[in-house]
Structure 1
Amino acid sequence: MKIALIIERMDPLRGGRETYTGEVAAELARRGHEVCVVCQDAQWEAPGVEVVRLGRSGLTRCGRMRRFLRAAGGVLASGEFDATHAMLAMPGVDVYHPHGGTVASSAVAHVRRRRGLVRALYAGVGWLNFGRMQRARLERRIVREGRAVCLCVSELVARQFERDYRRRDNVRVIFNGVAEMEPDASRRIAWRREVRSAVGVGEDETLFVAVATNFELKGVAQTLRAFARWLGATHSRARLAIVGRESVGPYRRLADDLGVTDRVHFEPPTRQIRHWYAAADAMILLTWYDPCSLVVLEAVRWRLPPLTTAYNGAADALAGGAGIVISSPDDTSAAVAAMEELANPLSRQKRAEACGEVEGRLALARHVDELLRLYEEVAAKKKTEGSAVERSSSTVQVRPDESC
């Protein structure tokens, strides 16, 4: 099949959406499909994948988005693709894949993590977020036109479409998947020793790891507070490593205020995240919102028990005991109790065994199998409705009211 994947910026270090796109593109190409990634710019490549860089131009983000959608539409119209799969709101594609969930639900989550007057302020001035308004108009058009299959990576996102648009028809859940993670045992042991030695963590210490690209959204402050309270109550020998793309100054100051500076290590984003999984004993992601966190699924495939929240669509994978799910990042008592359990080697071992029971269902190969069945469906449907060129050229357009 000839498949187009559309995304703004293709750099896996930016986050889960980019990581997902890269892994899916590479797997599709490995299986012999003709894959084209259409983007503004890219810091990524893979064997057998064509990357079309359209550039970034425009004074505002809305303007850049408008130009990108138009240019990408031109690529799709001339490419005669069997299936077009967009990771952003782009009318006219075959598959719309909102990695952040619906725009309305994402906005609710943005307000949820605020408190008091700040929360009221964010709720009141949300209409001033012109980029969000543009995405919302584009998404409403996609749903209204009904051509695209709305792809959801968890039941959490499917419920959003039902709540926000009263739509389940043409909404497809294909639960997220991640690439094979585990190396041979000797390499894993070597990585564990290497990382723990580099940051001064002894083998008798528990190492929690938190991986995030948006520290505020992913509850890093709440993680630090819970970690500090747990240390204060138990005097356990433990460390917390926070890995991600963020300005860490405010979080270093918070760690200092909490008296845990010497127990917390900040690590910049890395392409060697598996080394940190090997070094860690448990994963923590106290997120305020995540449609289906890849890092939690990666942790499960690594048999690294995760702690997350009910706001994470990936929590469905933990129902059999592979990890711990608490109600909210603000439920500090529950987070502390979970840390106490995960610091216990016997408890961790039981949860690691539960991870092993579900890891196969989280495989990227299974996810791509389901994607290909979806692509075949939309390709067959297009053949009955007319050529891909005619359909793309008539629908991949950004209207004036969809600009900022």
Structure 2
Amino acid sequence: MKKHRLAIVRQKYRPDGGAERFVSRALSALSNQNLELNVITRQWQGEKQDDWHIHICDPQKWGRISRERGFADAARKLWQAEQFDIVQSHERIPGCDIYRAGDGVHRRWLLQRQRILPGWRGQMLMLDRYHRYVMDAEKAMYEAPELKAVICNAEMVKQEIIEDFAVDPKKIHVIYNSIDASRFVPADSMQKLALREQLGIPANAVALCFVGSGFERKGLAAAINAIAGTDRYLIVVGQDKAEKQYQALARSVGCEDRIRFCGMQKETLPFYQAADGLLLPTLYDPFPNVILEAMACGLPVITSRTCGGAEFIEQGTNGFVCDALDISRLREAVMAIPALEYDNKMGMAARHKVMDATPERLSSQLITLYHTLLG
């Protein structure tokens, strides 16, 4: 029986990225199906499975627009020459069969970003040549006759795509990210104590963690302001070239001594296990994996309405959802998170909520979709 050839397009493959984890779980799941697996990428980092075919596609680039356009043109040329049976793109490239909208809708992100910029800079954002290019490419891709299916990781993104691009809802499939709940587990008391000692956080304090790089988008300024004026600690995991500005902000609002900047970490599990909750007031995020990881570790989650992960939060039961910039509501939520050591009802409800989001479920949803398209 002839193998069907599936190509997955991702410009830069780095193992710690959310889209990449989705890709690698999908590819691992598909390796026992009757599919030949191909990846089209500019650069591949990380382990390569024996049966994956990696196609390096790295045209010269002179700037952001040339980087995007160059890769799009070269990747499309490559997949047309190879005549793959299904092309699933994680980049906005017109002509793919399946698009995975892991980054959401670009205009929606810009609208949220405008809220934190001075008026004139906010107006310039929509006129910026690079952002115009991305929005035009996105529109062209949704309107392309080749597009057969869209994969979203949240209902929020599905609705945005329907509203902004009039895509037939039947084409859009919500497939939530998965979590390995046997690896992301709550810590026991002794583990937690040891982890807190390393971070210099008192055993009886309530500590929240913030996990994510790109601090502006993920809402670190709001998280720091929400912690200010409380007795809560904040563990910051992730990197940003403006980190010093956030340290200065913590100093200026008087909570520097209760914030731990831990930088980029290969292994995030210990940081969840040291905390009592996740604080992620992200400006715009389709569905960050960190929400599933934290919930699997038994942490209640505080996040924003413009985060697809809010779909997993039941207000007051396993976390809180409020506007990304509503500092007083965020602070109330921060104060409503109990020390898990004494009251883990919210934490257990959070873990229970994500137990269905298994890699097996994600795989079977993907395989069903591929078979439908190939059928």
TM-score (ref. length: structure 2): 0.89
Q: Distance in 2 between matches of 1:228 and 1:215?
A: 17
Q: What is aligned with 2:351?
A: 356
1:12-161 pair list within 5 angstroms:
12-13=15-16, 15-29=17-31, 33-48=35-50, 49-55=52-58, 57-114=60-117, 118=118, 120-148=119-147, 149-161=149-161
In 2, are the aligned partners of 1:3 and 1:82 still within 8 Å (CA)?
Answer: yes
SS in structure 1 of the partner of residue 31 of structure 2 = helix
Contact in 2 for aligned 1:26/1:46 (Cα 8 Å): no
- Rate the CA distance shift 1:207–1:228 in 2: closer, same or farther, 3 A: same
Aligned to 2:270: 275
- Alpha-carbon separation, structure 2, partners of 1:150 and 1:342: 37
- 2:1 is the counterpart of 1:4: no
Q: Identical aligned pairs, as a percentage?
A: 21
- Look up the match of 2:329: 334
Deviations 1:14-53, CA, capped at 9 Å, x for gaps: x433333333333433667432221111222243433332
Distance 1:157 1:171, change over 3 A: farther
SS at match of 1:230: coil
Match of 1:5, SS state, is: strand
d(CA) in 2 for partners of 1:50, 1:189: 45
Q: Say which of 257, 264, 268 aligns to 2:259.
A: 264
- 1:239 is matched with 233
Matched residue, 2:302: 307
Q: Is the 8 A contact 1:178 1:363 kept in 2?
A: yes
Deviation at 1:141, TM superposition (A): 1.6
1:125 match: secondary structure: helix
Deviations 1:267-316 (A, max 9, x none): 11112011212222211101111111211122122221111111111111
Residue 287 of structure 2 corresponds to 292
The letter of the residue matching 2:283 is: W
Stretches of structure 2 lacking an aligned partner (at least 5 in a row) = none
Per-residue Cα deviation, 1:323-375 (whole angstroms, up to 9, x for no partner): 32332122222212211221344885111222233223322321221111111
- After superposition, the C-alpha distances for 1:48-106 in whole angstroms (9 at most, x for unaligned) are 43333222522122112222122212332243433221111111111112222122222
C-alpha spacing 1:308/1:172, structure 2 compared with 1 (3 Å): same
Spell out the pairing of 1:158-177 with structure 2 (5 A cutoff): 158-177=158-177
Residue 180 of structure 1 and its aligned partner are, at CA, apart by 0.4
2:226 and 2:10 mapped to 1: Cα distance? Answer: 36
Work out the CA distance in 1 between the residues paired with 2:171 and 2:280.
27
Classify 1:188/1:12 alpha carbon distance in 2 versus 1 (closer, same or farther; 3 Å): farther
1:199 has 2:199 as partner: yes
Alpha-carbon contact 2:158-2:174 (below 8 Å) kept: no
Residues 310, 321 of structure 2: 8 Å contact kept: no
Name the SS for the 1:12 alignment partner. coil
- 1:187 Cα deviation after fit: 7.9
What is the aligned-residue RMSD (CA, Å)?
2.5
State the one-letter code of the partner of 2:289: L
CA distance in 2, matches of 1:185, 1:291: 24
CA shift at 1:264, angstroms? 0.6
- 1:374 pairs with one of 361, 369, 374: 369
SS of the aligned residue for 1:213 comes to coil
Instruction: Tell me the SS of whatever aligns to 2:230.
Output: helix
Alpha-carbon spacing, 1:32–1:140, altered in 2? closer, same or farther (3 Å):
same
Deviations 1:131-187 (A, max 9, x none): 222222222122222431122211111111122123334432323222304349798
In structure 1, stretches of 5+ residues that fail to align are 232-237, 381-404
Q: What are the equivalent positions in structure 2 for 1:393-404 lying under 5 Å apart? A: none
* Residue of structure 2 in register with 1:365 after alignment: 360
- Distance in 1 separating the partners of 2:121 and 2:248: 25
Specify whether residues 242 and 348 from structure 1 end up closer, same or farther in structure 2 by C-alpha distance, changes over 3 A only.
farther
Work out the CA distance in 1 between the residues paired with 2:216 and 2:238: 12
Q: Say whether 1:324 aligns with 2:306.
A: no
